[in-house]
């Protein structure tokens, strides 16, 4: 059994060379928002959900990206509404959000 039922990694990498990167799309703010919302729902912790910062996951051109493990489902997102949908549908209810998958 997985230590975290859902372990979410947000790429928050910021590149300085002008190339595409998740850091140019409010990735850190969106990750912090997701972490805070999971905590407010009391879904954080062992056996439940963890929302992590991560470095570059090498899908820069498709970013901003996050990945949900152990499901291995990758998403892109634009705003808090997208993050809320990923949380409510996939993380809490187990139903992946097809429209945001990459």
Give the CB-side neighbour count of residue 91, counting CA atoms within 13 A.
31
For a copy of itself (CB under 8 A), the number of binding residues is 20
* Site track for a copy of itself across 16-35, x = CB under 8 A: --------------------
Here the tokens at position 66 are: 């996050």
| Residue 61: partners with Cβ closer than 8 Å, 6 or more residues away | 20
Residue with structure tokens 């634009």? 78
Window 54-73: residues binding a copy of itself (CB under 8 A): 54-59, 67, 69-72
Residues 11, 61: Cα–Cα separation, whole Å: 12
Q: Does 52 bind a copy of itself (CB under 8 A)?
A: yes
Quick one: which segment of 3-11, 16-24, 79-87, 88-96 binds a copy of itself (CB under 8 A)?
3-11
Q: Smaller CB distance to a copy of itself: residue 67 or 83? A: 67
Residue 21: CB atoms within 10 A of its CB come to: 20
- Residue ranges that bind a copy of itself, judged by CB under 8 A: 2-3, 7, 9, 45, 50, 52-59, 67, 69-72, 74
């Amino acid at each position: 059994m997985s230590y975290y039922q859902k372990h979410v990694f947000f790429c928050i990498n910021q590149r300085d060379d002008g190339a595409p990167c998740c850091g140019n799309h409010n990735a850190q703010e969106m990750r912090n928002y997701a972490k805070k919302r999971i905590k407010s729902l009391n879904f954080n912790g062992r056996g439940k959900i963890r929302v992590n910062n991560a470095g570059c996951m090498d899908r820069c051109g498709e970013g901003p990206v996050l990945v949900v493990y152990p499901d291995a489902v990758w998403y892109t997102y634009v705003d808090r509404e997208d993050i809320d949908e990923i949380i409510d549908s996939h993380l809490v209810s187990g139903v992946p959000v097809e429209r945001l998958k990459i």
